[in-house]
Amino acid sequence: MKRYSLRPDVQLECVYVYRDPVDFRLGYRGLSVLVEHELGINPFSGSLFVFRNRQCDKIKCLFWEDNGFVLYYKALESEKFHWPSDEDTLITLTGEQLNWLLSGYNLTLMKPHSVLQYESVA
């Protein structure tokens, strides 16, 4: 698998995936309040929390690292994330599974998104 420089650690033990879409105007403060009050989990626990937007083409990951929150954001250009379907509001993954999800894998089919290459943003 390709090596990425800005990815959550594959050795993370507990990654919580919030199944429902969230308002992506929320920053680290709003997401940490959601984790604490709606999910009843301590956002300072060292666990990583994953959220998606309504269109399922953007992901935000939130975690506490020693002295501050880290907010990881990924927006897909033309495809959608294959969000795990479960009846529970909260799903747990490993760090390795999270990285597969970020690479575009459908975790049930293990098939990735297409790799896109561009020369310019304009």
Q: What is the pLDDT of residue 48?
A: 94
State the distance between the two ends of the chain, measured CA to CA, in whole angstroms: 30
Q: Which pLDDT score, from 0 to 100, does residue 6 have? A: 75
- What tokens were used for 98? 């999270």
What is the rounded distance in angstroms from the CA atom of residue 46 to the CA atom of residue 65?
7
Tokens of 7: 């990815």
**For residue range 74-103, what is the model confidence (pLDDT) as tens digits?**
998 888 888 777 666 678 888 888 888 888
Counting beta carbons within 10 angstroms of the beta carbon of residue 63, is it exposed (0 to 12), middle (13 to 18) or buried (19 or more)?
Answer: buried
The pLDDT of 38-50, averaged and rounded, is 93
DSSP secondary structure code for residue 100 in this structure = H
